[in-house]
Structure 1
Amino acid sequence: MEEDQHQIRHAYLEEYEGASLVASQAYQCLEVIYPPGLWPSVQKMISDAAQLKGGGELLIAITHEGISGLVVYHAPNSYKSEHLPHSWASLTILAVLPQYRRRGIGSKLIQTCLNIAKTDKTEVFGVLLNVQMTAAKTVFEGKGFVKNGYSRMISGQKHDQYCLTL
Structure 2
Amino acid sequence: MSTDRTPGLRPVREAGMAEWPAIGELTTEVYGALAPSSPPPSWTEYLTSIAVTLTQPDQARRLVVDLDGRIAASVLLCPPSSGPTGRLENPYPELRLLAVRSDYRRRGLAGLLIEACEQRARQDGYDAITLHTTSLMPTAKAMYERRGYLRAPGLDFEPGPGFVVWGYRRPLA
Question: Which TM-score bucket, shorter chain as reference?
Answer: 0.7 to 0.9
1:61 equivalent in alignment to 2:49: no
**Superposed, which structure 2 residues align to 1:29-108 within 5 Å?**
29-53=33-57, 55-76=59-80, 79-80=81-82, 85-108=89-112
Higher Cα Rg, which structure:
2
Aligned to 1:14: 18
Q: Which moved more, 1:131-140 or 1:112-121?
A: 131-140
Q: Match of 2:169?
A: 163
In structure 2, give the amino acid aligned to 1:91: L
CA–CA distance in 1 between the matches of 2:39 and 2:61?
Answer: 30
- The equivalent of 2:31 in structure 1 is 27
Which runs of structure 2 are paired with 1:133-152 in the superposition (5 Å)? 133-150=137-154, 151-152=156-157
Unaligned runs of 5+ in 1: none
Q: TM-score, normalised by structure 2?
A: 0.82
- Kindly state the Cα deviation for residue 53 of structure 1 after the two structures are TM-superposed: 4.9
TM-score (norm 1): 0.85
Tell me how far apart the structure 2 counterparts of residues 146 and 38 of structure 1 sit (CA, whole Å): 26
Task: Tell me which amino acid in the other structure corresponds to 1:152.
Answer: F
Q: Does 2:158 correspond to 1:153?
A: yes
Distance in 1, Cα, partners of 2:82 & 2:137: 24
Q: Deviations over 1:28-73 (max 9, x none)?
A: 2111133335444221111122224554110011112301111000
Deviation at 1:97, TM superposition (A): 1.2
Which letter does structure 2 place at the counterpart of 1:17? P
Aligned residues: 163
**Percent identity of equivalent pairs:** 21
Q: CA deviation at 1:13?
A: 1.2
RMSD: 2.3
Which consecutive unaligned segments of at least 5 residues does structure 2 have? Answer: none
